[in-house]
């Protein structure tokens, strides 16, 4: 998310840098800036109307920033997630005069309806993610909190599993992201699996571990499955739907 626009919404962002010991051997993927808004009970409609007013102002002022707003479908409370791609960290140094022109709307029409806002930055993982852009309106996001001792095994397993799936002629279905900032309760990675709609979730597809066993044998499946499980301290997932009225995926 463009830093100036975040500030124009008058949300204070607290960044906590997460270091990683994994050596960088591949080109870096783009960044995604994300803010999760927990809405005050009964204020969802007012929050959405505030975003609509801000969006109209921003477009009228010919702003070129793009973003997606996803609404979480499960879990406690009413939660919206605003996500925007950045090519690199340097984009956070840029100013956006169009956003400044609309900051009063954010202050008066959006902020009063927000109970809490939490922000973080993630980096897209090349090579193990789907290469085509996300166009679907529904996503299932799985979050992974790594085990302190065995967490390094997660990406090793994912890369090997994706290689096996590729050799079996299967396309990569989702997108992996590594968290670059976050708090004590933040995960280290998350995976986005897109769906056209809820009905698409009823379509039965071959499970990952089934493919591994069929292609590489049961012993290899057991080995990779054990390594995957040992790499995790905790995992959870939610379904999100795109709120098109308050999003701007493209210019």
pLDDT digits (tens, 9 = 90+) for 77-123: 999 999 999 999 999 998 898 999 999 999 999 999 999 999 999 99
Q: Is the pTM of this model over 0.85?
A: yes
Instruction: Please count the other Cβ atoms lying within 10 Å of the Cβ belonging to residue 194.
Output: 17
Confirm if 181 and 92 have CB atoms less than 8 A apart. Answer: no
Report the b/e string of 71-85 with b at 16+ CB within 10 A: bbeeeeebbbbbbbb
pLDDT digits (tens, 9 = 90+) for 34-68: 999 999 999 999 999 999 999 999 999 999 999 99
CA-wise closest residue to 237 among 187, 198, 172:
187
Q: How confident is the model at residue 251 (pLDDT cuts 50, 70, 90)?
A: confident
Identical fold at 3-121 and 138-237?
Answer: yes
Q: How far apart (Å, rounded) are the C-alpha atoms in residues 133 and 29? A: 13
CA-wise closest residue to 26 among 127, 123, 124:
127
pLDDT digits (tens, 9 = 90+) for 220-238: 999 999 999 999 999 999 9
pLDDT at residue 16, rounded to an integer: 29
DSSP string, 216-251: H-HHHHHHHHHHHHHTEEEEEEEEEEE-GGG-B---
Task: Sketch the domain layout of the chain as residue ranges.
Answer: 3-121, 138-237
Which fold, 138-237? Alpha-Beta Plaits (3.30.70)
CATH number belonging to domain 3-121: 3.30.70.100
């Amino acid at each position: 998310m463009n830093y100036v626009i975040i500030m124009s919404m008058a949300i204070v962002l607290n960044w906590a840098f997460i270091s990683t010991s994994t050596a960088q051997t591949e080109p870096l993927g783009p960044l995604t800036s994300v803010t999760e808004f927990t809405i005050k009970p009964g204020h969802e409609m007012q929050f959405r109307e505030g975003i609509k007013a801000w969006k109209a102002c921003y477009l009228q002022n010919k702003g070129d920033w793009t973003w997606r707003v996803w609404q979480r479908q499960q879990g406690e409370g009413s939660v919206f997630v605003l996500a925007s791609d950045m090519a690199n960290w340097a984009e956070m140094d840029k100013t956006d005069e169009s956003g400044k022109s609309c900051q009063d709307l954010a202050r008066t029409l959006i902020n009063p309806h927000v109970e809490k806002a939490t922000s973080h930055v993630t980096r897209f993982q090349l090579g193990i993610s789907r290469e085509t852009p996300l166009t679907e309106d529904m996503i299932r996001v799985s979050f992974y909190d790594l085990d302190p001792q065995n967490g390094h095994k997660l990406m090793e397993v994912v890369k090997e599993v994706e290689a096996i799936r590729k050799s079996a002629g299967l396309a990569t279905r989702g997108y992996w992201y590594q968290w670059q900032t976050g708090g004590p309760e933040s995960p280290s990675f998350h995976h986005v699996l897109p769906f056209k709609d809820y009905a698409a979730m009823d379509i039965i597809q071959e499970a990952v571990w089934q493919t591994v066993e069929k292609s590489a044998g049961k012993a290899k499946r057991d080995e990779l499955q054990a390594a995957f499980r040992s790499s995790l301290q905790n995992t959870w997932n939610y379904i999100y739907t795109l709120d098109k009225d308050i999003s701007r995926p493209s210019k």
